[in-house]
Amino acid sequence: MEKVQYIKSDILKFKILKKLLDKENHTPSELAIGINTNGTTILRNCKILELLELIEIDVKKTTNINYYLKITIKGFDLFQKNREEIEKLIKF
């Protein structure tokens, strides 16, 4: 099989999934600090992960709009099944 070249945003999505493996709710800001990017970039990538049903985005409207991110069972299983390959890609 031919080696696939991943782009930066693909690797970012793998990093997001890895951070969500604890199955807790996280905000984009929390993930941004751990991944060294900004919350807007995290949220944009999370929208795609949500479309693929790998994570859930819960929107809470209080004074501000707060987003809470959580991995789905499908996302958890996908990461675990491919963990070795993903770990090599993200190297963290």
Considering the chain, what is the average pLDDT of its residues?
92
| pTM beyond 0.75, yes or no | yes
Q: Provide the sign of the torsion angle of the four alpha carbons 30, 36, 40, 42, taken in this order.
A: negative
Tens digits of residue pLDDT in 42-86: 999 999 999 999 999 999 877 788 999 999 999 999 999 999 999
What are the extents of the domains in the chain?
8-90
- What's the DSSP call for residue 54? S
**Tokens representing residue 53 in the block:** 């049903």
CB 28, CB 67: distance < 8 Å: yes
**Tokens representing residue 6 in the block:** 């991943």
> What does CATH list as the number for 8-90?
1.10.10.10
